Amino acid sequence: MFITRILQNDRGGQIMLAVLALVLVLVPVLNLLVPEGSFLHMPTYLVTLLGKYLTYALLAVAVDLVWGYLGILSLGHGAFFALGGYAMGMYLMRQIGDRGVYGNANLPDFMVFLNWKELPWFWQGFDMFWFAMLMVLLVPGLLAFVFGWLAFRSRVTGVYLSIITQALTYALLLAFFRNEMGFGGNNGLTDFKDILGFSLQADGTRVTLFALSGLALAGGYLLCRYIINSKLGRIVVAIRDAESRTRFVGYRVEHYKVWVFTVSAMLAGIAGALYVPQVGIINPGEFSPLNSIEIVIWVAIGGRATLYGAVLGAILVNYAKTVFTGLMPESWIFMLGALFVLVTLYLPQGLAGLVQQFQAKGWLQRRAAA
Amino acid sequence: MLKTTDFTRLLLLSVLLWLCPPLQAEQQSATLTQAAPLFQEASFDKTREAVDLLAASGDPEVVPYLQALLDGKLYQDKAQGTLVIAKDGNTGDELRKIPTNNSLRKYLRGAVGQLSLSHPDAAVRLKSANGLLETVTPEMATQLRGLLEKETDSAVKEALSLGLAMADLNAADKAVRLTAIESLAGNLHPGVRNRLTTMTTDSDAEVAKAAQEALRSIEDTAALYGHVETLFFGLSLGSVLVLAAIGLAITFGVMGVINMAHGELIMLGAYTTYIVQQLMPNFIDYSLFVAVPAAFIVSGAMGILIERTVIRHLYGRPLETLLATFGISLILQQLVRTVISPQNVPVSNPSWMSGSLEINSVLSLTYNRLYIVLFCLMVFALLYFVLRKTNLGLQVRAVSQNRAMARAMGVRSARVDALTFGLGSGIAGVAGVALSQLTNVGPNLGQAYIIDSFMVVVFGGVGNLWGTLVAGLSLGVVNKVLEPWAGAVLAKILVLVFIILFIQKRPRGLFPQKGRAAGD
């Protein structure tokens, strides 16, 4: 079968997807079918939390695709995630209709508040779901394409590229903070009511969004794995390991880079679009350079260039974040900082690398014993 | 600017009042005793007569009395009729306040001004000559001309001739008016501009036209000084950028280490200033002279610690260095939040940093900005000297150009690495001292500058101190030039976008390193 062919030689991916499938079946059952009060019942907030982790995991996979396999350390992937989120947020905003505080059917609340008379041109069409979903893909994709085309064509590489991606997300952060931009300024977009007619507060909608996040993660994972396994993937890895040599062999390096970068940005956009209805808000804080750099550390902890490591890292770090910000809010930043330092110093291959190391050792011991 | 002059005026007045305690009758001059009965009449007309009498005496001693009357502080003893200048709480039952009204106060202002014009102190004369411009009348022209002839102080002379020209604007003779307008062209005094604006509707077409031309020349000059001011603001912002970035220019530019904790080293410098000021609360004026070396040592030591424990293991892996130092920056921020406070801490400015240098009525340069520019240039010069003329500098450059060869020549590269990183970090700390005088000192101080600093270094060209200086100053100026029509935030976004595009065009910055050292 197609999927099994993609996952050939990807032990980690097989396990990860199997676990994911199990979770995708179990969670809805535990939430919807097991009656409340039973100790097996899974509360809805937990479902949403898991759904949030899954969107982070998809984002991490997108970053791993460009960092692990293409060698581009993007410190601006949070921007693509946030843009996808804003596209979804705009649709949800339009769905509120006249149920806002001001009861204006044509304008979102913050525009009424700013005394705007009509909908700006870039909000047109966002009342249609299909259009918003198109924008979820197109806006991050287009930005990544233009940015990548400019940067890779003029051979901006390594640290320089990292710094200008960071500048990109910083510029967007500043821009979206402005009220005049028409995206709700400081407060962002929030107070969403429903999606496609289903209330966002309903358990069923929550579980569906969770399931969609899981499916998107699985789909994104398979897509990335497919790309890596294809001939294109081989060239991508070649570019990472020896860019000049690949160029001299005759490949148009910048074309490969731009395309992979764009695909990755679109995946990040999808993750953002699934994230927003689950957390119920999108604000300019998502553009902050700190968020983007955190994604990188998820991937680093999980193990770069493995894809499943990115999923593992994203879920583990965010679970730890939830636990520790609840228990000892002060200590979390210390731990995050220490993670950055320790992982880069002592765990260059991440957790996935650690597992591989143990496996290799065990295999050697078995060989020795035989 | 207006505030400071108001303030000095008030200060001078209070000193004046303090110097003149209420005088007893026998000490009061003859004119005062003569005028006293007129004040007692309690009618505005008689009061005006009394003022005339006092003003005509030309006696500088009466000035404080007139000024007191103007300020509503002149009282009269009901029984004896002696005039008393009230100090706080000096108004018993036996004293009667002398009332004034608007027209009388206006009249008084002119009288005080005229009297002060012949005061023996040149500073008082200058002040009153400057104050005269608002109230000058054509009748005063002859008097001013006489004063002008006797005047010896050049500043007062200038002010007087300006006043004279203003008086001449009202002259009946058209030729006099025209020469007055001509002499006023390019003068930046706000009173002149207002007066000339009314002259543009003069009944005589020639005069109106001359006034318009003079007005235009005034506006041109004002615009010119406006540009100078923008340039100055830009340079001071640029100096801040250069200060923040120059330490990075060493660690990133010379050593190739991406130090994301650079901003936090700046923050440590700012907090060092805070702690120094806490330790010597009575010597705030001197605190900065202690804070600069202290910050250099604190941040420098922290830098060496970071280099020895973390960065040393990551040479040649720039992306990993970036992540590890980012972790360090988080730890340092949280450390400050936990140990000191998550809120901003107050850092005071020494008295010599406040106030401003007034060039003319439209252009004044605040001292704190001025000192920042000077400080930035000093730090730059010092750093340049260290890198170019000292043994350490020679070794630093040798290691950064060819590590293996430098080691072969006997340079202890590990020690040089630590010292270089310490130097760059120490400079960041010094920048923190400067920033503590300009912005809020809080745990997030460094974060705000890290992206800007990287932009400056990359824009200027990595490994080039001059590039950093030019890039920082020009980005500062560009930012300030854009600000008026784009707004502060949009200007910043535009500058960021500009740099992103610029790097596409010239990936190695304004002044790329040449030769072998420039290899990837």
**The model's pTM:** 0.78
The fraction of chain A above a pLDDT of 70, given in percent, is 98
- Model confidence at A61: pLDDT above 90: yes
Contact between A302 and A53 (Cβ < 8 Å): no
pLDDT of residue B519: 46
- Stronger pLDDT, B122 or A239, i.e. the higher one: A239
Please give, rounded to a whole number of angstroms, the shortest distance from the CA of B436 to a CA of chain A.
Answer: 23
Residue A88 has which token pair?
């979804």
Angle at B186 between CA B181 and CA B187, to 5 degrees: 80
Taking the C-alpha atoms of residue A266 and residue A155, their distance in angstroms, rounded to an integer, is 22
What are the backbone angles phi and psi of residue A41, rounded to the nearest 5°?
-65, 135
- Stronger pLDDT, A261 or B342, i.e. the higher one: A261
| Mean pLDDT calculated for residue range B118-147 | 72
Tens-place pLDDT, residues B29-43: 677 777 777 777 777
- Stronger pLDDT, B260 or B58, i.e. the higher one: B260
Interface probe, candidates A63, A146, A163, A299, chain B, greatest B C-beta count within 10 A: A163
- CB contact B488 to A (< 8 Å): no
Place of tokens 């060239």: A235
Please give, rounded to a whole number of angstroms, the shortest distance from the CA of B375 to a CA of chain A.
Answer: 28
The per-residue DSSP string of B220-287 comes to HHHHHHHHHHHHHHHHHHHHHHHHHHHHHIIIIIIT----TTHHHHHHHHHHHHHHHHHH-GGGHHHH
User: What DSSP state is assigned to residue B441?
Assistant: B
Taking the C-alpha atoms of residue B86 and residue B17, their distance in angstroms, rounded to an integer, is 9
Tens-place pLDDT, residues A14-32: 999 999 999 999 999 988 8
Indicate the range of B88-92, B168-172, B235-239 predicted with least confidence.
B88-92
pLDDT of residue B23: 45
Residue B335 with chain A: CB contacts under 8 Å:
334
pLDDT of residue B182: 78
Taking the C-alpha atoms of residue B487 and residue B480, their distance in angstroms, rounded to an integer, is 10
Chain A neighbours among B 218-277 (CB < 8 Å)?
258
Helices B367-389 and B413-436: crossing angle, nearest 10°? Answer: 170
- Stronger pLDDT, A332 or B294, i.e. the higher one: B294
Tens-place pLDDT, residues B356-384: 887 777 778 888 889 999 999 999 999 99
Query: pLDDT band at A102, cuts 50/70/90?
Result: confident
- CB contact A171 to B (< 8 Å): yes
pLDDT of residue A229: 92
The fraction of chain B above a pLDDT of 70, given in percent, is 89
Tens-place pLDDT, residues B253-296: 777 788 889 999 999 999 999 999 999 888 888 888 999 999 99
pLDDT of residue B24: 44
- Model confidence at B21: pLDDT above 70: no
3-state secondary structure of A343: helix
Of B323, B492, B503, which has the smallest distance from its Cβ to A174's Cβ?
B492
pLDDT of residue B19: 52
User: What DSSP state is assigned to residue B27?
Assistant: G
Indicate the range of A107-121, A226-240, B173-187, B480-494 predicted with least confidence.
B173-187
Its CATH architecture, for the domain B225-518, is: Orthogonal Bundle (1.10)
Return the residue of A nearest to B492 by Cα: A171
Of A154, A171, A297, which has the smallest distance from its Cβ to B493's Cβ?
A171
Please give, rounded to a whole number of angstroms, the shortest distance from the CA of A23 to a CA of chain B.
Answer: 32
Tens-place pLDDT, residues B407-465: 899 889 889 999 999 999 999 999 999 999 888 899 988 888 888 888 888 888 877 78
Of A160, A168, A174, which has the smallest distance from its Cβ to B507's Cβ?
A160
Please give, rounded to a whole number of angstroms, the shortest distance from the CA of B443 to a CA of chain A.
Answer: 13
- Model confidence at B352: pLDDT above 80: yes
CB atoms within 10 A of CB A367: 8
- Model confidence at B16: pLDDT above 70: no
- CB contact B333 to A (< 8 Å): yes
pLDDT of residue A149: 92
Answer yes or no: do A333 and B319 touch at CB < 8 A: no
**Residue A22 domain boundaries:** 2-369
- Model confidence at B487: pLDDT above 90: no
Place of tokens 């290799």: A360
- Stronger pLDDT, A220 or A42, i.e. the higher one: A220
Taking the C-alpha atoms of residue A166 and residue B62, their distance in angstroms, rounded to an integer, is 70
- Model confidence at B136: pLDDT above 80: no
Place of tokens 């330092």: A341
Contact between B253 and B464 (Cβ < 8 Å): yes
Tens-place pLDDT, residues A63-98: 999 999 999 999 999 999 999 999 999 999 999 888
Contact between A251 and A235 (Cβ < 8 Å): yes
CA B444 to chain centroid, in Å, comes to 26
Total domain count, chain A = 1
Please give, rounded to a whole number of angstroms, the shortest distance from the CA of B271 to a CA of chain A.
Answer: 19
Residue A345 with chain B: CB contacts under 8 Å:
310, 313-314, 324
Contact between B117 and B145 (Cβ < 8 Å): no
Average pLDDT, chain B: 81
| Mean pLDDT calculated for residue range A248-271 | 95
pLDDT of residue A262: 96
Taking the C-alpha atoms of residue A338 and residue B331, their distance in angstroms, rounded to an integer, is 7
- CB contact B510 to A (< 8 Å): no
Query: pLDDT band at A37, cuts 50/70/90?
Result: confident
- Model confidence at A318: pLDDT above 90: yes
Place of tokens 């705030």: B284
Residues 6+ apart with CB under 8 A from A335: A320, A324
Taking the C-alpha atoms of residue A311 and residue A221, their distance in angstroms, rounded to an integer, is 9
- Model confidence at A236: pLDDT above 90: yes
Tens-place pLDDT, residues A163-206: 889 889 999 999 999 888 889 888 899 889 888 888 988 889 99
pLDDT of residue B462: 75
Please give, rounded to a whole number of angstroms, the shortest distance from the CA of A137 to a CA of chain B.
Answer: 23
Domain ranges for chain B:
14-116, 119-199, 225-518
Helices A158-177 and B488-505: crossing angle, nearest 10°? Answer: 160
Q: Taking Cα atoms as reference points, which of A114, A117, A110, A74 lies closest to residue A89?
A: A110
Q: How far is CA B134 from CA A70, A308, B166, B189, in A?
A: 73, 80, 9, 10
3-state secondary structure of B360: coil
pLDDT of residue B358: 78
Answer yes or no: do A341 and B458 touch at CB < 8 A: no
Please give, rounded to a whole number of angstroms, the shortest distance from the CA of A97 to a CA of chain B.
Answer: 31
Contact between A303 and A318 (Cβ < 8 Å): no
Taking the C-alpha atoms of residue B223 and residue B229, their distance in angstroms, rounded to an integer, is 10
Q: How far is CA B132 from CA B152, B156, B185, B187, in A?
A: 18, 12, 19, 16
- Model confidence at B26: pLDDT above 50: no
- Model confidence at B515: pLDDT above 60: no
Taking the C-alpha atoms of residue B404 and residue B398, their distance in angstroms, rounded to an integer, is 10
- Model confidence at B138: pLDDT above 90: no
pLDDT of residue B302: 96
**Identity of the highest mean pLDDT range in A213-222, B74-83, B135-144, B170-179:** A213-222
Answer yes or no: do A178 and B504 touch at CB < 8 A: no
pLDDT of residue B58: 67
- CB contact B492 to A (< 8 Å): yes
- CB contact A186 to B (< 8 Å): no
pLDDT of residue B2: 46
Query: pLDDT band at B518, cuts 50/70/90?
Result: very low
pLDDT of residue B223: 87
- CB contact B505 to A (< 8 Å): yes
The fraction of chain B above a pLDDT of 90, given in percent, is 23
Answer yes or no: do B324 and A336 touch at CB < 8 A: no
| Mean pLDDT calculated for residue range B14-24 | 51
Query: pLDDT band at B13, cuts 50/70/90?
Result: low
User: Interface pTM (ipTM) of the complex?
Assistant: 0.84
Q: Taking Cα atoms as reference points, which of B274, B285, B245 lies closest to residue B465?
A: B245
- Model confidence at B322: pLDDT above 80: yes
